[in-house]
Amino acid sequence: MQIGWNPLPEGVESVKVALSAVLTDSTVDWGKRGLDEIYEACGPEPAKGLAEGACKVLVRSVVQPVTFRKVGEIEHFRDGPDTPVSGKEEDFKVSPPNGSFIRRFSEPDRALRIDRLFSTAERIRNYLAYASALALPVVGILVSRDFLYPVRMESSPSQYMPNVGVPFSTERTQEWYKVFEEAYARTQLLLDTLSPSEPSGRAVSLVGESIWTADVEERFFYAWRALEVIASSDLSRARGELSAGNPKPLEPYLERASAALSQGHEFRIDPQVRVEVSVTSRLSAGDAKIVPKLYELRNAIAHGEVTPAQHLEVLNLNLPIVRLARTIAETTLKVQPGSSG
């Protein structure tokens, strides 16, 4: 290995570079262990006490204990070869906290009941990804009087490990733990206050899905769908305002129509226009400048015609579109962390 910092800044004669590793115990099935804890908490009869059509979904995060280990250190000199640094530090082991969630509902139709059981588990996972901005692993069980099914939606520890080296101090450990604890509290708040069928609930779940999925095109598409859900809701609200005698919310859409019609072009309020207006109204016109490029790539993904150059653009815009979708989704939420209502 060579140090790429050459030449060193003026006045710096040498620099030390530590090599560290994050280790997990691969001999333990952490998902199974999490499921065992859920079954133990439920007792021998998870469906006991449930009425006909009643359901419950129990989900638990399974963030793994990890060990931070210093595996080497090199000192790089301005004039001279790289020199290994002797000395070994103790491993630093941490066990991040996990969170548990329960949702209950009733559904008389059996097929719909089973579908809702699975979709509820996925929604909890997505809300947790939204709240933490991390692809946290979860396991759970889906329960009704005639149905019991375990689910595992796990992810690699590399997707939620902190980007820090060693030594990993006790103070930094507590700061890291706080990230998880706040995410669990926010997830519970979202579950308690959002309806899965309302635009904000759908948008939050879609953003969480975009954070969770590993495929770059799927991530991009889920984030775009979140933007479009909110944008369509904004347009519906503007139309409702017009019907009530207030044309102002619809004016941004009509301005775009007048420009096109004055040049003899047909005009329709397509998804790009809806998202542009929504982002402009909720954030700023500057934030909306990226929307035409996002829509172009969205169409390429939807129609299965992504060129290598476009795939690189999708990859480079993955983080920006997820951040934009999450920021827009935040503007729809009435209850924020720390608020009382």
- pLDDT tens, position by position, 115-148: 999 999 999 999 999 999 999 999 999 999 999 9
pLDDT the model gives residue 251:
84
Residues 194 and 126 sit within 8 Å (Cβ to Cβ): no
177-183, Cβ contacts within 8 angstroms, sequence gap of 24 or more: 177/96, 177/97, 179/132, 180/61, 180/63, 180/96, 180/97, 180/98, 180/99, 180/132, 181/97, 181/99, 182/131, 182/337, 183/99, 183/128, 183/131, 183/132, 183/134, 183/136
Q: Could you tell me where the DSSP H helices lie in 94-198?
A: 110-132, 170-193
pLDDT over 90 at 172, yes or no: no
Q: Print burial letters for 113-145: b (CB count within 10 Å at least 16), e (below 16).
A: bbebbeebbbbbbbbbbbbbbbbbbbbbbbbbe
- High-pLDDT (> 90) share of the chain, %: 63
**Could you write out the DSSP letters of every residue in 62-96?**
-PPPEEEEEEEEEEEESSS--EEPP--PPPEEE--
pLDDT digits (tens, 9 = 90+) for 6-41: 566 677 667 777 777 788 888 999 999 999 999 999
- High-pLDDT (> 70) share of the chain, %: 87
pLDDT the model gives residue 341:
39
pLDDT over 70 at 163, yes or no: no
Give the residue extent of every domain in the chain: 28-65+95-193, 211-332
pLDDT digits (tens, 9 = 90+) for 277-305: 999 999 999 999 999 999 999 999 999 88
